[in-house]
């Protein structure tokens, strides 16, 4: 089971520096928003980089950097907590597979695509934050491996991937405050981007 973590704390820090950096940024930004108005306050989240689409700017192109900055913000402690747990467990094997630089690029790109899907399928004024799009990108990468690289994933890991995706998507549809399109967009992006990385690496 590749998702079980056996590393010591020091070993984890040394082996997965990009994952650790992402976790640290998310925690730091959560603390900053908590100290400056609250992590559930829309104005505070917007001030620190939340992704906003409006009737006049439905794709958020007036401030495109928000596609990236919103990935590192969270609305409330439980939102942050569940995303950090997912990162701690599922991100390290992908960082090991892709390498630090490619993994960092993968995380940001899938998060951006998640926000793009949100903009494409939501109407009106929507404020979005969270790393969920990028985390579903990680799930999408492992779905690619589960389908096309079965020899590289044990049966327990494949079942975990299928279960987390099925449960996650059902839960996303049932809870109205969850940005389901960011999850779907991130997952699709992760599936496709990991496949591209695989082909690129195999050609070497």
Active site residues: 132, 183
Helical pair 180-202 and 155-174, crossing angle rounded to 10 deg? 150
User: What H or E segment, with its residue span, contains residue 162?
Assistant: helix 155-174
Residues near 38 by Cβ (< 8 Å), separated by ≥ 6? 44
CA distance 89 to 203: 30
Phi, psi dihedrals of residue 6, rounded to the nearest 5°? -110, -5
């Amino acid at each position: 089971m590749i998702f079980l973590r056996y590393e010591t704390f020091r070993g984890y820090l040394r082996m997965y520096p990009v994952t650790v950096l992402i976790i640290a940024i998310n925690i730091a930004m959560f603390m900053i928003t908590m100290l400056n108005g609250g992590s559930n306050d829309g104005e505070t989240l917007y001030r620190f980089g939340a992704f906003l689409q409006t009737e006049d700017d439905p794709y958020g192109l007036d401030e495109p950097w928000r596609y990236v900055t919103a990935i590192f913000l969270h609305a409330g402690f439980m939102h942050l907590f569940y995303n950090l747990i997912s990162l701690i467990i599922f991100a390290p094997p992908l960082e090991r597979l892709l390498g630090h630089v490619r993994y960092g690029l993968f995380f940001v790109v899938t998060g951006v695509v998640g926000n793009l899907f949100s903009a494409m399928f939501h109407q009106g004024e929507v404020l979005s934050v969270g790393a969920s799009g990028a985390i579903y990108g990680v799930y999408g990468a492992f779905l690619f491996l589960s389908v096309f690289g079965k020899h590289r994933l044990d049966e327990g890991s494949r079942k975990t991937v299928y279960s987390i995706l099925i449960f996650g998507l059902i839960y996303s549809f049932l809870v109205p405050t969850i940005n389901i399109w960011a999850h779907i967009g991130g997952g699709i992006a992760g599936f496709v981007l990991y496949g591209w990385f695989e082909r690129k690496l195999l050609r070497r």
